[in-house]
Amino acid sequence: MEIGIDSFAAMFSGNSSKTINDTDALAQLLERIEHADLMGLDIFGIGEHHRKGFLDSAPSLILTAAAARTKRIRLTSAVTVLSAADPVRVFQEFATLDLISHGRAEMVVGRGSFVDAFPLFGYNLHDYDELFVEKLGLLLKIRENEFVTWSGKFRPALKNQPVYPRPLQDPMPIWLGVGGTPESFIRAGTLGLPLMVAVIGGETHRFRPLVDLYREAGKRAGYLRDQLKVGLHSLGYVANTTQKALDDFYPGYAEAMTKVGKERGWPPMTRGRFEAQMGPQGALLVGNVEEVAEKILRHADALGGISRLTFQMDSAELPHEKLMQSIELIGTRLKPLVVLQPLKQV
């Protein structure tokens, strides 16, 4: 199992009255990626948002800056909002990242959990599904072919057009990021793409039927079990003690989730709802090293085995120093407890 971090480059204040400017926030983020590499983590992902408070509207640029400061860690998007992007440019940007990083680039593509990118780039939200299907098809065709002939509804046709540069990796890894739509799981399996499941609430084991749909679709399409990787993106934070982790994480998490809830019709986050997510089956990976490691293995078993787990800690608005400490604990103490466990088979 690979262990890593995902970040949305959120420019938060660290649960205090002190603000942080954009320049310092990005400098700290690059320092955290470099630290994750030194601490032995396997992957660092940067999301994509187009709204105030987030600095990740151009994730490939952040990842390229990180590539120059790291040696081993793999660098990925988390996720690229492909529905509102040009697949040609996305491929070129990540192929360039792959060359600069000496073959460490990946991308997770999806439709995103916010819709800000659609009006920003002139797309109709009613075309949400159709846009993604068409653009994913083009992206995969570009990955497979140096010269591309293609036509679709939302982009000008390509007639034997070469797309450069080509990445060092052949093929460059492309994961499909999904939420809870059965069609998305089936699509990933049919295409043989590794799956990144975002579980940010509820109980992780409830996603097992959807993961089974993915594996069944992949099997029907002729893909082997080893080709059908499943990753888990979870909100989490690790501290030296469970009480410390709870005290650090809850205030910012409650504030952030309540803010998002106002947009989506969710009730305000309460301590009781938070503690329910902290239970044995709950999605949150917050606690001390041993407890979180045990919960990761429990989640892995519940999903029939996972190949990758990424922590998303931005939602708690934690200050840089605490994030650095958590990254160190995850890399040096938690990862050894989980990575050598055998992958469960179904």
For residue 60, the model assigns a pLDDT of: 98
Q: What six digits make up the tokens of 125?
A: 């939200």
For residue 345, the model assigns a pLDDT of: 45
pLDDT higher than threshold 70 for residue 14: no
For residue 346, the model assigns a pLDDT of: 42
| Average pLDDT score, the chain | 93
For residue 112, the model assigns a pLDDT of: 77
Please state the rounded mean pLDDT for residues 23-50.
Answer: 97
Please state the rounded mean pLDDT for residues 9-24.
Answer: 70
Q: Are 1 and 309 in contact (CB under 8 A)?
A: yes
Choice between 98 and 271, residue whose per-residue pLDDT is larger: 98
Query: What is the C-alpha to C-alpha distance for residues 123 and 127, in angstroms, rounded to an integer?
Result: 8
Positions of E strands within 68-218: 74-77, 80-81, 105-110, 147-150, 158-162, 174-178, 195-199
- Is pTM beyond 0.85? Reply is yes
pLDDT higher than threshold 60 for residue 101: yes
Please state the rounded mean pLDDT for residues 227-248.
Answer: 96
DSSP label at residue 54 = B
For residue 317, the model assigns a pLDDT of: 86
Domain ranges of the chain: 2-338
- In CATH, 2-338 is 3.10.110.10: no
Query: What is the C-alpha to C-alpha distance for residues 283 and 234, in angstroms, rounded to an integer?
Result: 7
pLDDT higher than threshold 80 for residue 133: yes
